[in-house]
Amino acid sequence: MKQPVAQVASAVALWIGLALAPEVALAQAAPAPDVLSNETITVDGVSANFVLRLPRTRGPRPLILALHFGGTPTAFYGRGLIANLIGPAFAELDAVIVAPTCFDGSWLRPRCEANALAVLDYALENYPVDPSRVLVSGFSMGGVGTWHFASKFPERFMAGIPVASRPTASEPLPTIPMWALHSTDDEVFPIARTRDAIRPLLARDPRCVFEVISGVTHFETARFAEPLTRSVDWVRGVVWEEEPDSEPLIEPL
């Protein structure tokens, strides 16, 4: 006896549903993109803008001060830095991330420095963060800013993680642990000058790491995200003294 068309169609639909179930489950299990919000606070009568990434999990989380690269900044210029580099690289930490905006062309300039510190203080007071696990990280101009903040304000950070940059010659090298990421193909900050600038730091402080990659040019910001994930084990194992998942790859001098 032939089955009614409706029954056949129903059976086929059920079979297709069962066949696709694993893919549907995987799609449902995939993490949603980070939700970023634009925030503004007032510092000495002047507005300070920043982009905020809140954690997915409850309880005190690490806090990352993310310093953006150069260019012509818009009001919330750090959004691209979090979305393309800092967010993906440090996803495993599920940190609170704040990315202030610098309109003066350098994180070393007084207004940019003051605004960044004000945003940092605001985050410590208003978001679910662990004050003993504060990091500073940045790319290019933000990497130079990372060296600066780590050198000038060591009491505020557990570690600094600069990318595609080098410290300024006018400031002492930081005393806190540093994990620096650099490409041999960086045309803006040639690697030889960066290596020479931080060589004394690597010689005196075994906690510090100079991680070198190849095949990535300076302006390929997003391509630094994957190698930057290697710093997470270093943060956990060396800085926070947890058990790391793997040993960091250290470029020999």
The pLDDT assigned to 112 comes to: 96
Residue that wins the pLDDT comparison between 8 and 166:
166
The pLDDT assigned to 211 comes to: 98
The pLDDT assigned to 44 comes to: 81
Per-residue model confidence as pLDDT tens digits over 144-179: 999 999 999 999 999 999 999 999 999 999 999 999
Distant-in-sequence, close-in-space partners of 49: CB < 8 Å, separation ≥ 6: 38, 39, 40, 75, 76, 100, 101
The pLDDT assigned to 248 comes to: 41
Please report, rounded to a whole number, the percentage of residues in the chain having pLDDT higher than 70: 83
| pLDDT grade for 110, boundaries at 50, 70 and 90 | very high
| pLDDT grade for 129, boundaries at 50, 70 and 90 | very high
Nearest CA to 84 out of 220, 188, 181 is that of: 220
For all residues of the chain together, what is the average pLDDT?
87
Give me the mean pLDDT over the 84-112 stretch.
97
Q: Which long-range contacts (CB under 8 A, 24 or more apart) does 199-206 make?
A: 199/253, 200/173, 201/173, 201/174, 202/253, 203/253, 205/175, 205/177, 205/178
**Residue 180 clears pLDDT 70, i.e. is over it:** yes
Angle at 94 between CA 92 and CA 97, to 5 degrees: 120
The pLDDT assigned to 33 comes to: 66
The pLDDT assigned to 224 comes to: 98
The pLDDT assigned to 32 comes to: 62
What predicted TM-score, i.e. pTM, was given to this entire model? 0.84
| pLDDT grade for 195, boundaries at 50, 70 and 90 | very high
The pLDDT assigned to 75 comes to: 96
**Residue 252 clears pLDDT 70, i.e. is over it:** no
CA pseudo-torsion sign 89, 87, 58, 129: positive
**Residue 229 clears pLDDT 90, i.e. is over it:** yes
Token code pair at residue 245: 């998942």
Maximum distance among all Cα pairs of the chain, rounded to whole angstroms = 91
